[in-house]
Amino acid sequence: MTHLLPVTTLAAEASFNTYWIIIALAFVLVAFGFFLLLARRYKRCPSNRILVIYGKTGAGQSSRCLHGGSAFIIPLIQNYDYLSLDPLQIEIPLEGALSSENIRVNVPSVFTVAIGTEGDTMQNAAIRLLGLTTAEISKQAEDIIFGQLRQVIASMAIQEINRDRDKFLASIQQSLEPELAKIGLVLINVNIKDITDDSGYIEAIGRKAASEAIQQAAIDVAEQERHGSIGVAEAEKERAIQVAEREKIRDIGTKAAERERAIQLAALEKEKVVGEKKAQFDQESEVRNSEREMRIRVADANAKAVVGENEAKARMAQANADLKVQEAEAFQRGETRRREAEAAVRQAQYLAEAKAAEAQAAKIEAEKRAELEAAAKAQKAQTIVAAEAEAEKARIEAEGEAAAIFAKLEAEAKGQFEILARKGQGLREIVAACGGADEAFKMLMLEHIEEISATAAKAIANIKFDKIVVWDGGQGGGEGGSATSSFLRGLAGSLPPAMHLMRDIAGVELPQYFGKLVEESEGGREPAADPEAEAPTGSE
């Protein structure tokens, strides 16, 4: 037994180590499998596809679409699929479509469409095209294109379709793009191969255009020949006119040259005289300018000298002031030191006298000191302890008061913050419940109507009317009313603006004691705000 015990212990330890190794390997395998699962559920979207995540994607959304980027697909509650963004070419062999002239035309064309990458368009594609094959998507688009193309052709004439291809293509795009967007597609290109009709109308239009072109060419040839003959005659007439014109210009030029020669000679003589006078004047002006500049330089030098003298005087005054300040400071320092020396002398005298007194008192109190020393030490210790206790008490009370003040201020700040936060939340709920800021403002105005009414009443409380005299003179007040009614309207308009703004802003009527504007009665009079103010026209 003594030899078998170590072998059994080693076997047990080996089993124990093997057990933990197996557990560690199992944990590593589970973690690796979980990582692979997460990696497989993390999907990246290529640029030529749309990643559609469906399942539980959020409130009010049946799916979530991504173009580019990546997303994590939550296991069990989400799944995914792809929509291809490759273009689809759809051939539309449209035949027998009625135009606005009731003529059937053939418009074979090729449309290029693809799934759109806009937010709403991707969502529509995810709802209506997810899981469909390319042929099924092409079939849906083909049906929509057929219908819209027939509708566009029915709204245009054949000549308009044949001549203005840009307008025809723009009409097709304008009509087709909204319909394709409903299923998540966008229109990339439209290629119209040819436009024909069974009745030969377009061919007849071509022959007519060719005939008109031939006739126009013949007309242009005849017109050019006529222009050639007229041009020859015009050229001969122009030549004769130009010859006569040149001869006239030659004669006029000769006379003008002679006159110009005489004028230039006179001008040269005049310029000579003027030049001499001008040179003399310039010379005198230069002399005057030089004298003026010399005077300016002298005055400038004098001004600079005065400025320099003033600056020197200012510096001298500043130096004197600084000297006086330094002398005052030196006097102050000397006086302070003198007084300090006197104080030190007096202190030394006092100390000497105190030492002498202490020596004398030492002799007298030597006997009593032994008796009183214990009592004095006890009293001193008691005094120190009491002073320290009082200081500690004052410190504790000060700290308590400071902590209480801080706690009070902090509580007040928290209360104010909570009040403001609750008030802001309440205002947001009021605005949301009323359906807008304007309606909420009106409701809050109604809550404070009494304060506003009281303020408006105070504004007009001190207005007193003794009596009102209105003279009409038989002229009326304009716009079909009397002068009395115009006066009362002007009086009401002069009241504080808040009385009228209350009705416009808050939508409420003011109390009766503010007065009320009433339309004119049939008799041509308007009730007055005060019985004493009512008076017949032209009287008091």
pLDDT digits (tens, 9 = 90+) for 341-382: 777 777 777 777 777 777 776 777 777 776 767 676 777 777
Q: Please give the pLDDT value at position 187.
A: 92
Q: ∠ at Cα 284 (280, 288), nearest 5°?
A: 165
pLDDT surpasses 50 at 1: no
What number of other Cβ atoms are within 10 A of residue 392's Cβ?
10
pLDDT surpasses 90 at 323: no
pLDDT surpasses 80 at 89: yes
Task: DSSP for 416-431, please give it.
Answer: HHHHHHHHHHHHHHHH
Across the range 465-475, mean pLDDT stands at 56
Q: Please give the pLDDT value at position 356.
A: 76
Q: Please give the pLDDT value at position 503.
A: 57
Instruction: Write down how long the chain is.
Output: 540
If you compute the radius of gyration of the chain from its CA atoms, what whole number of angstroms results?
57
pLDDT surpasses 60 at 124: yes
Average pLDDT, the chain: 76
Q: And the tokens for 384?
A: 């120190």
pLDDT surpasses 70 at 479: no
Q: Please give the pLDDT value at position 440.
A: 74
In the numeric block, the tokens 């004098």 are attached to 302
pLDDT surpasses 80 at 79: yes
Q: Decide: 92 and 111 in contact? Cβ < 8 Å.
A: yes
User: What does the alpha-carbon distance between residue 162 and residue 160 come to, in Å, rounded to a whole number?
Assistant: 6
Extents of the domains making up the chain: 81-199, 377-435, 448-533
Q: Output the CA torsion 452→456→458→462 (10° steps).
A: 180
Q: Please give the pLDDT value at position 540.
A: 33
Distance of CA 491 to the CA centre of its chain: 45
Instruction: Give 511's DSSP letter.
Output: P
pLDDT digits (tens, 9 = 90+) for 101-113: 888 888 889 999 9
The residues near 474 (Cβ < 8 Å, ≥ 6 apart) are 537, 538
Q: How confident is the model at residue 508 (pLDDT cuts 50, 70, 90)?
A: low
Counting Cβ atoms within 10 Å, is residue 299 exposed (0-12), middle (13-18) or buried (19+)? exposed
Three-class DSSP labels, 354-373: HHHHHHHHHHHHHHHHHHHH
Instruction: Give 478's DSSP letter.
Output: B
Q: Which long-range contacts (C-beta less than 8 Å, at least 24 apart) are formed by 223-227?
A: none
Q: How confident is the model at residue 186 (pLDDT cuts 50, 70, 90)?
A: very high
Q: How confident is the model at residue 179 (pLDDT cuts 50, 70, 90)?
A: very high
Q: Output the CA torsion 224→229→233→238 (10° steps).
A: 20
Q: Please give the pLDDT value at position 507.
A: 54
pLDDT surpasses 80 at 490: no
pLDDT surpasses 60 at 209: yes
Tell which phi-psi region holds residue 269, choosing left (phi > 0), alpha (psi between -120 and 50) or beta. alpha
Q: ∠ at Cα 224 (219, 229), nearest 5°?
A: 130
The gap between the terminal CA atoms of the chain, to the nearest Å, is 144
In the numeric block, the tokens 């095209």 are attached to 129
Q: How confident is the model at residue 6 (pLDDT cuts 50, 70, 90)?
A: low
Beta bridge mates, 478? 481
pLDDT digits (tens, 9 = 90+) for 413-434: 888 888 888 888 887 888 788 8
19-23, 33-37, 214-218, 434-438 — most confident range = 19-23
Q: Closest Cα partner for 83 from 115, 56, 112?
A: 115
Q: And the tokens for 240?
A: 């004769």
Least confident of 176-185, 476-485, 530-539: 530-539
Q: Which long-range contacts (C-beta less than 8 Å, at least 24 apart) are formed by 218-221?
A: none
Q: Please give the pLDDT value at position 226.
A: 77
pLDDT digits (tens, 9 = 90+) for 399-418: 888 888 888 888 888 888 88
Q: Please give the pLDDT value at position 493.
A: 56
* Residue 92 three-state SS: strand
Q: Please give the pLDDT value at position 399.
A: 80
Across the range 462-470, mean pLDDT stands at 59
Least confident of 200-209, 250-259, 310-319, 483-492: 483-492
Q: Please give the pLDDT value at position 482.
A: 59
Q: How confident is the model at residue 526 (pLDDT cuts 50, 70, 90)?
A: very low
CATH class of the 81-199 domain in this structure = alpha beta
What proportion of the chain, given as a percentage, has pLDDT over 90?
6
Least confident of 92-101, 333-342, 500-509: 500-509
Q: Report strand pairing: 49-55 vs 78-84.
A: antiparallel
Distance of CA 52 to the CA centre of its chain: 36
Q: Closest Cα partner for 51 from 120, 125, 114?
A: 125
Q: Closest Cα partner for 92 from 201, 164, 176?
A: 176
pLDDT surpasses 90 at 468: no
Counting Cβ atoms within 10 Å, is residue 151 exposed (0-12), middle (13-18) or buried (19+)? middle
Bigger pLDDT: 99 vs 516 = 99
pLDDT surpasses 50 at 220: yes
pLDDT digits (tens, 9 = 90+) for 125-149: 888 888 889 899 999 999 999 889 9
User: What does the alpha-carbon distance between residue 304 and residue 297 come to, in Å, rounded to a whole number?
Assistant: 10
